[in-house]
A and B are shown apart, each in its own frame.
Chain A
Amino acid sequence: MNFDVSGPKVYFTIPTDIPILGDFQLSETMVVSWIVMALITGLCIWLTRDLKVEHISKRQAVAEMLVETANNFVRGNMGKKFDYMIPFVAALFSTSIISNLISLIGLRSPTADLSTEAAWAVVVFTMITAQKIKSSGFGGYLKGFTTPIPIMTPFNILSELATPVSMACRHFGNILSGIVINGLIYAALALASAALFQFLPGVLSQIPFLTVGVPAVLSVYFDWFTGFMQAFIFCMLTTMYIANAAEE
């Protein structure tokens, strides 16, 4: 039995042949991303239907709780002056968590494609850099690399670049490992049940009984917990880095 983990499927390719960008590929990642976006937007619209000031529905209570949680999260980590960051962090978190968990309904997570996390990390890195330049000026920003002594400059540049790389790779690695481990578990359980139930007659011996239920238990950690944790960590780091950049 062969076990194989492949990258996202490419539905079709439009040969554009632009230098660096290459051919346009409509991949599974993009399609599922749009599904995720549609889900989140639909959820937002559904939650905010028929809003009232008094005697609110449970749905509105949930919507208010989500907004309050986002407000508290961003204000707690970054302070009040970063209120304009709340929708960005909320979008980042919701996209990340829904992308992570969408693998539960059989779609391929967009977060299992490094392009997604790289895009997010680059956006966050740009924000961090912009915040640093804003708080200490362009000269001050460049000068920051020579602290505490000029000889440290290469290491400082390296650590600066390590921020987006580590953010992207941490998130991607965790989600990909979940997919790999889930694939391995399915394969292993199929093998095990084939070995256990080979005495059953006919087609019954071909049914992998063990793959019913057992992977669900393991997916509590590898999909639910990791999916939630990585979304949370990504947003936490985003807010922390930007708040730190503003303080310098």
Chain B
Amino acid sequence: MNAQELVTIIPWTFIAQILNLFLQMYLVKRFLFKPINEVLEKRRARAEAQLTDAADAKRSAEEMKATYEKNLAEANANAKDIIQTAQKQATLQSEAIVKEARAQAASIKQHAEAEINLEKEKAFQEMKNEIGGIAMEIAGKVIEREISEKDHQKLIDEVIENVGDLS
């Protein structure tokens, strides 16, 4: 088997190597760069989509937070209003109750005083009548019999005793 010169350019080999180089370029492009670049592009797109999603989620969360804060502030204001109204109402009610109670107490006192006076008058009237009766009795007794000094004394004692019983 013969060999070619050590340093020489063989035209056929030269042409074949040019073609080989371009063929190799196509093969590398087709079997390495195309699939890998597709995967890289897909990954990049996915990462971008995830970033966009995250930004969207953040925005919506912020919106929700703002809504919540607004609602909370409103609720706080409402609660304050309700408490104030309730306090006002309670004050009014308590005042009304106290007033009514006072009025009632006053009327009860008046009634009681009036009753006491009536009783007093009644008792006084009864006492008067009784005293009158006793006097009449005494007068009758005096008229019916002679009165000894002893009797006299006895009568007086009786009267006094009766009066004492009455009081």
List the interface of chain A (C-beta within 8 A of B).
Answer: 5-11, 20-25, 27, 29-30, 33-34, 37, 40-41, 44-45, 47-48, 51-54, 60, 63-64, 66-67, 70, 86-88, 90-92, 94-95, 110, 113-116, 118-120, 122-123, 172, 176
B24 A40 Cβ-Cβ under 8 A: yes
Closest residue of chain B to A51 (Cβ to Cβ) is B39
Q: Which residues of chain B in 5-35 are interfacial with respect to chain A, using CB atoms and an 8 Å cutoff?
A: 5-18, 20-29, 31-33, 35
Chain A min CB distance to B161 (Å)? 126
Given A88-B25, A91-B25, A176-B6, A113 and B32 contact (CB-CB distance below 8 Å): no
Name A's interface SS: helix
Closest residue of chain A to B43 (Cβ to Cβ) is A53
B11 A21 Cβ-Cβ under 8 A: yes
- Give Cα A9–Cα B5 distance, bound, in whole angstroms: 9
A87 B33 Cβ-Cβ under 8 A: yes
Chain A min CB distance to B108 (Å)? 91
Closest residue of chain B to A119 (Cβ to Cβ) is B17
A7 B21 Cβ-Cβ under 8 A: no
What are 19 contact pairs spanning A and B, CB under 8 A?
A7-B4, A7-B5, A9-B2, A10-B1, A10-B3, A25-B12, A41-B31, A48-B32, A60-B39, A70-B33, A86-B33, A90-B32, A91-B21, A91-B27, A113-B4, A115-B9, A116-B13, A119-B13, A120-B21
Closest residue of chain B to A93 (Cβ to Cβ) is B28
- Give Cα A73–Cα B97 distance, bound, in whole angstroms: 95
Chain B min CB distance to A143 (Å)? 29
The interface centre, meaning the residue of A21, A87, A88 with most chain B CB atoms within 10 A of its CB, is: A87
Knowing that A27-B4, A67-B33, A113-B10 touch, tell me 6 more A-B residue pairs with CB under 8 angstroms. A7-B5, A64-B36, A87-B29, A91-B25, A92-B21, A119-B13
The interface centre, meaning the residue of B11, B32, B39 with most chain A CB atoms within 10 A of its CB, is: B32
Given A45-B31, A87-B28, A119-B18, A63 and B1 contact (CB-CB distance below 8 Å): no
Given A90-B32, A95-B21, A40 and B27 contact (CB-CB distance below 8 Å): yes
Partner of B3, one of A7, A40, A41, A52: A7
Given A37-B20, A115-B9, A123-B18, A94 and B28 contact (CB-CB distance below 8 Å): yes
A7 B32 Cβ-Cβ under 8 A: no
- Give Cα A87–Cα B34 distance, bound, in whole angstroms: 10
Closest residue of chain A to B24 (Cβ to Cβ) is A91
Question: B32 to chain A: which residues have CB within 8 Å?
Answer: 44, 47-48, 63, 66-67, 90
A44 B31 Cβ-Cβ under 8 A: yes
Given A22-B12, A114-B7, A118-B9, A51 and B35 contact (CB-CB distance below 8 Å): yes
B27 A21 Cβ-Cβ under 8 A: no
B1 A9 Cβ-Cβ under 8 A: yes
A6 B6 Cβ-Cβ under 8 A: yes
A20 B11 Cβ-Cβ under 8 A: yes
- Give Cα A40–Cα B23 distance, bound, in whole angstroms: 12
Q: Which residues of chain B in 66-100 are interfacial with respect to chain A, using CB atoms and an 8 Å cutoff?
A: none
For residue B42, CB closer than 8 A to chain A, the reply is yes
A24 B12 Cβ-Cβ under 8 A: yes
- Give Cα A198–Cα B9 distance, bound, in whole angstroms: 44
Closest residue of chain A to B39 (Cβ to Cβ) is A51
- A-contact 0/1 string along B41-58, CB 8 Å cutoff: 011001000000000000
